[in-house]
Amino acid sequence: MKTIPLIQFGLGGVGSAVAERVLAARDDFEWHYGLRLVYVALCDSRGAAINGDGFSHGALQRMLVAKAEGQSIVGLDSGYHHDGLRDIVDVAGTTDAIVIDVTASSNTTTALQLAIERGYAAVLANKKPLAESYEVFRNLVDSGRVRYESTVGAGVPVIASLSEALMAAHDPVRCIEGCFSSTLGYLTTGLQAEESFSELVRTAIALGYTEPDPREDLGGMDVARKALILARTMGWPLELEQVSVQPLYPAELGGGGVDDFLDAVHSLDDDYALRAAEAHIAGETLRYVALLQGGEARVGLQSLPLNSPLGQLQGTDNLIAFHSSIYDESPLVLQGRGAGVHGAAAGVLADIMALADHV
């Protein structure tokens, strides 16, 4: 039986779902693969719970309950102050360890780099470390011990398809186009149904589709980071500031608090209603699209034919189309759920198992 120590940064929605899936799969993985996944450290924004011998099933369950109730996991078993990244990473004591980053923070990069230096592997659902400088991206990914499927398509195997089905087959990718945001997919299909932009934004917040500040989604930077990760996976040495980004709100609504934005967002209703109507008359519909072509990447609102793959997309699903030498006239299209924590958690667990065979 091979034991894989797990160190996890983040125990929010996706992080809790990952821990739940690990617990649910533990017996099956031991039986079918001879692999035992053992958490030795879990961290949230308030601190870390550490147990070098591995947390029991019951201890993990208590932590998940505490998080669901808004409590800290520190002190439930053993704990360490959250600034002690070196001690947290070193707790595994073996190069078989896998570090999991399911935060939405840019502050985990140091810990990830330290883990790679220690010979560990890492799985990321967090896009921000991979959207830092191209040098940081290469230092992490070139180790051969980092997987990041859930950074782009949640549980949809976008990175695996690009890396293993296309690049490994020496099938040059000429163009990638896709809708990568469940939030913006919800908004644009709502506009297609003649709903008002402001009400769609409010409903998306209520349904938990957006970040606490919806401008994080509406600004397009989340999609830009995903596009950048795809570009870099193909070897394009782009920086984030080189990605052309079209936000869905004007600069004057970018200041102030969330309440200020929500009080003013109705001012955009008429413009979006007009744009949706014009698209409808042309037999098209609005979609927020990422396009990678000719070494450049851009994201923004487009009017697309209703019968196109992206035009037919509905609700919170994600879709990506790869145009390559082989997939020329008919692109390779992947589509699947974009909303919900369990899709992302499934991608993380699949990455863990892929790395567990090699660490």
| Per-residue pLDDT in tens (0 to 9) along the chain, 359 residues | 889 999 999 998 899 999 999 999 988 998 998 999 999 999 888 888 888 889 999 989 989 998 888 887 876 655 444 445 666 777 766 778 999 999 988 889 999 999 999 899 999 999 999 999 999 999 999 999 999 999 998 778 999 999 999 999 999 999 999 999 999 999 999 999 999 999 999 999 998 888 888 998 999 999 999 999 999 999 999 999 999 999 999 999 998 899 999 999 999 999 999 999 999 999 999 999 999 999 999 999 999 999 998 999 998 889 999 999 999 889 999 998 776 688 889 999 999 999 987 66
Number of continuous H segments (helices) and E segments (strands) in the chain: 13, 13
141, two tokens:
């990914």
Structural element, H or E, at residue 323: strand 317-324
84-135 residue pLDDT tens? 566 677 776 677 899 999 998 888 999 999 999 989 999 999 999 999 999 9
pLDDT at 156: 86
Question: Domain limits of the chain?
Answer: 2-154+342-356, 166-337
- Using alpha carbons only, what angle is made at residue 342 by residues 137 and 225, rounded to the nearest 5 degrees? 30
283 CB-near residues (< 8 Å, 6+ apart) = 305, 306
Max intra-chain CA distance, the chain: 64
Strands 146-147 and 121-124: parallel
Active-site hit among 67, 127, 128, 226: 226
Confirm whether 2 is a catalytic residue: no
179 CB-near residues (< 8 Å, 6+ apart) = 185, 287, 288, 289, 290, 310, 313, 317, 318, 319, 320
| Short-list 169, 113, 166, 160, CA closest to 136 | 113
CB 316 within 8 A of CB 145: no
Q: Could you give the 3-state DSSP secondary structure of residue 208? A: coil
Structural element, H or E, at residue 188: helix 182-192
21, two tokens:
């899936």
pLDDT at 295: 95
CB 47 within 8 A of CB 20: no
User: What CA–CA distances, in Å, run from 170 to 165, 167, 353?
Assistant: 9, 5, 26
> Which residue type, as a one-letter code, is found at position 178?
G
297, two tokens:
């990447």
185, two tokens:
């997919």
Task: Give the right CATH number for 166-337 from 3.30.530.20, 3.30.1360.10, 3.30.360.10, 3.40.50.300.
Answer: 3.30.360.10
pLDDT at 75: 65
348, two tokens:
């993380």
Contacts made by residues 136-139, CB under 8 angstroms, sequence distance 24+:
136/109, 137/232, 139/113
Q: What DSSP designation does 84 have?
A: -
Q: Could you give the 3-state DSSP secondary structure of residue 105? A: coil
CATH number for the segment(s) 2-154+342-356: 3.40.50.720
138-188 residue pLDDT tens? 999 999 999 999 999 877 899 999 999 999 999 999 999 999 999 999 999
CB 193 within 8 A of CB 325: no
Strands 35-44 and 2-9: parallel
CA distance 214 to 182: 13
